[in-house]
């Protein structure tokens, strides 16, 4: 599905990522873990074409996408739920969801995918005609996730989904991610600071420190790793 090899990227003369390598298989949830400033968001931007890597490779379904446009990458099936949600706050919930149907295929399947989203997040159907900016933070995150799912992703990237949300709301969103992976074979790249919740959701994980992969392993192994426990779990 996704293979990142020796990815280097940054902003201008400042390099942020150093030889980042990881893999993600079909129907798998992989967590990218690390503290704020570790390079996680830069990595996501490099994968989605928003930042052009200085070297390295990003292969998605057998095709090199490292130098492709963001639109090409989106059409290929990589859809991101951005950090901070980035909704159109003056538009209604439904109008925001309609923005997720960005090409002919997703527009043709919009109504059936909308009903699926309403089943995953029933509150959105109740709030369909309400301005997105008037929703709670948790409800806005639901809109952001649903908008991404309207785009019919093969790979769903969740960038810091727990940021500023109550634990029960985070659990609801991560449970949807689990369901998608298990029942529809969508792959999920979970980029998260909350290591406890991320490892409870993911199959495998990679810990990024100072722009480099410091650790990798199964979610179970990472949750019992002494470095992870001391540095991130406070144990």
pLDDT tens digits, one per residue of 28-59 = 999 999 988 899 999 999 999 999 999 999 99
pTM: predicted TM-score of the whole model, two decimal places? 0.92
pLDDT at 96: 95
Sorting pLDDT into bands at 50, 70 and 90, what band is 231?
A: confident
Q: Which residues pair with 5 in a beta bridge?
A: 57
């Amino acid at each position: 599905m996704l293979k990142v090899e020796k990815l280097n990227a940054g902003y201008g003369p400042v390099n942020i990522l150093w030889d980042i390598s990881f893999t993600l298989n079909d129907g798998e949830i992989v967590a990218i873990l690390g503290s704020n400033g570790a390079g996680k968001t830069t990595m996501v931007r490099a994968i989605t074409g928003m930042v052009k890597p200085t070297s390295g490779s990003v292969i998605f379904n057998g095709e090199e996408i490292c130098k492709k446009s963001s639109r090409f990458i989106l059409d290929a099936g990589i859809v991101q739920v951005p950090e901070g949600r980035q909704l159109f706050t003056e538009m209604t919930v439904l109008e925001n969801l309609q923005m997720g149907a960005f090409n002919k295929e997703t527009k043709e399947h919009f109504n059936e995918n909308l009903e699926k989203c309403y089943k995953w997040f029933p509150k959105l159907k109740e709030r369909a005609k309400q301005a997105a900016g008037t929703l709670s933070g948790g409800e806005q995150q639901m809109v952001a996730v649903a908008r991404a799912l309207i785009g019919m992703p093969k790979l769903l990237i969740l960038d810091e989904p727990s940021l500023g949300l109550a634990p029960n709301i985070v659990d609801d969103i991560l449970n949807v991610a689990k369901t998608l992976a298990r029942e529809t074979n969508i792959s999920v790249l979970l980029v998260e600071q909350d290591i406890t919740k991320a490892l409870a959701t993911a199959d495998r994980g990679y810990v990024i420190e100072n722009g480099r992969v410091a650790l990798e392993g199964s979610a179970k192994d990472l949750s019992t790793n002494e470095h992870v426990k001391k540095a991130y779990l406070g144990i």
